[in-house]
Amino acid sequence: MVIKNNIKAIKEELSAFSYKLVAVSKTQPIERLQEAYDAGQRIFGENKAQELALKYKALPKDIEWHMIGHLQTNKVKYIAPFVALIHSIDSIKLLEEVDKQGKKVNRKISCLLQVHIAKEETKFGFDLKEVKELMNSQELNNFSHVEIKGLMGMATFTENQEQIRNEFSLINQLFQKLKTQKLPTNVEMKELSIGMSADYKIAIEEGSTIVRVGTAIFGARNYN
Ligand SMILES: *Cc1c(COP(=O)(O)O)cnc(C)c1O
């Protein structure tokens, strides 16, 4: 009941907006995902390819699976046949591998470019300038089995709400600007994936179209 009520509370809080809710189920056992599924949730996000593939096998087939964490190139093959969206494209090398695996399974794989907006060294992604350069180059036209659907970002892990808002605003400005621009043929600026449990409300106010919420749905994660 707790999971169901949590999902309901988030939807009520965000009822004035249109967005997609990704239930971030990393480390959570199958029963808890099933509980969210029974409450009507159909989009789940995981940050490890093999865990994602195992859960895909165990759960109903109408679930949309999103890869949200740093993805190693040698793991792409585990999710390529079915993944609905990879949020975490953080290098051209990874995009090449996704394209290669997409060819193998004859699918165009939807992806977001992860943009580095946090004031932290550890967060993966392209910086704003690199994204602009990429959009003005021909490079992405080489990928026949990849479709770029937008951008993803993670704010700095901080209590400072203004800083979080500024970082989200920065990526939204880039997102909005690219929307008005001529883009490579396999690129479309449709989705902006920003916002997690602590900051989804701010993210939605700053233009998010996809929020990735774990703890606020499932409670604290157990990493043991
Ligand atoms: C874990 C994770 C989330 C969800 O975090 P919560 O704070 O539990 O909502 C969102 N996005 C990414 C990339 C994550 O790794």
Measured from CB, residues less than 6 Å from any atom of ligand 1 are 24, 26, 47, 68-69, 154, 196-198, 212-216
The answer to whether 113 and 148 are in contact (CB under 8 A) is yes
Report the separation in Å between the CA atom of 100 and the middle of ligand 1, taken as the mean of its atom positions. 28
Residue 204 has pLDDT above 80, yes or no: yes
Confidence band of 78 (pLDDT split at 50, 70, 90): very high
Report the separation in Å between the CA atom of 138 and the middle of ligand 1, taken as the mean of its atom positions. 33
Q: Whose CA is nearest to atom 12 of ligand 1?
A: 68
Three-class secondary structure assignment of the chain: CHHHHHHHHHHHHCCCCCCEEEEECCCCCHHHHHHHHHCCCCEEEECCHHHHHHHHHHCCCCCEEEECCCCCHHHHHHHCCCCCEEEEECCHHHHHHHHHHHHHCCCCEEEEEEECCCCCCCCCCECHHHHHHHHHCCHHHHCCCEEEEEEEECCCCCCCHHHHHHHHHHHHHHHHHHHCCCCCCCEEEEEEECCCCCCHHHHHHCCCCEEEECHHHHCCCCCC
Ranges of each domain in the chain: 2-218
Ligand 1 atom index nearest CA of 88: 13
What pLDDT, in 10s, does the model give residues 80-90? 999 999 999 99
What pLDDT, in 10s, does the model give residues 131-164? 999 999 989 999 999 999 999 999 999 999 999 9
Ligand 1 atom index nearest CA of 212: 10
- What architecture does CATH give domain 2-218? Alpha-Beta Barrel (3.20)
Report the separation in Å between the CA atom of 86 and the middle of ligand 1, taken as the mean of its atom positions. 14
For residue 108, what are its two tokens?
């165009």
Mutate to test the pocket of ligand 1, among 41, 113, 193, 196 (most ligand atoms within 8 A of CB): 196
What pLDDT, in 10s, does the model give residues 83-136? 999 999 999 999 999 999 999 999 999 999 999 999 877 668 999 999 999 999
Report the separation in Å between the CA atom of 141 and the middle of ligand 1, taken as the mean of its atom positions. 31
